Chain A
Amino acid sequence: EVQLVESGGGLVQPGGSLRLSCAASGFTFSGYWIHWVRQAPGKGPLWVSRLNEDGSYTSHADSVKGRFTISRDNAKNTLYLQMNSLRAEDTAVYYCVRGTVGAPGLDYWGQGTLVTVSS
């Protein structure tokens, strides 16, 4: 069974940093693109970042470019999101999502971890 379990969320002050983790199991982690998607309370999802199978290619949404960094450790089957210079508008549930094989897309979603940016 494919499982994606996010952790590392919590309350952080504006301007602060946080690192999210996503532990993957039930599939060959090193064979898939992985994405972060966030959803602010009462809003629709927003795609944040993606990373290819070996970590050599990344892309980020314009709203987080230069502040967030996506990375992975295939030996540990774990995805990371380093978030710096956090703003109130970054408050959201952050989901780890597996990429669809062979075409841009998303298939399995984690249950998410809540990040709250507030003083």
Chain B
Amino acid sequence: QTVVTQEPSLTVSPGGTVTLTCASSTGAVTSDYYPNWFQQKPGQAPRALIYSTSNKHSWTPARFSGSLLGGKAALTLSRVQPEDEAEYYCLLDCGGGQLVFGGGTKLTVL
């Protein structure tokens, strides 16, 4: 089974920029993995942010963007706000009918 790896934790200052990444144990992440990104705050269901690498949902703030970076999927947050403090999860379509979530990145805004 494919293992999807994210940074366990990151810290960013308000107004700053941070990039979260998502790697696959089977090799480079490409657009064929259709990377998705989700934000989850305590006590809430996850909320979708990005699909198919870089496409935003209608509710996704403009400061969030998705890309491929160095063989990984990436989520970049610009002009970070205090309310962006949350857990972030990526999801990859790993083929064979299997979708796999990453272990999550706890983002602290400090």
Interface residues of chain A, those whose CB is within 8 Å of chain B, are: 35, 37, 44-47, 50, 59-62, 95, 100, 103-112
Contacts and interface: CB of A to CB of B under 8 A. Distances in A.
Interface string B1-20: 10000000000000000000
Contact of A45 (B34, B38, B55): B38
Contact of B34 (A37, A47, A104): A104
B101 A46 contact: yes
B46 A105 contact: no
B98 A59 contact: yes
A104 B99 contact: yes
A35 B36 CA distance: 14
B16 to A, nearest CB: 25
Contacts of B93: 104
B108 interface: no
Contacts of B102: 44
B46 to A, nearest CB: 6
Nearest to B35: A105
9 contacts: A44-B102, A45-B46, A45-B91, A59-B97, A100-B36, A104-B36, A104-B93, A105-B51, A105-B91
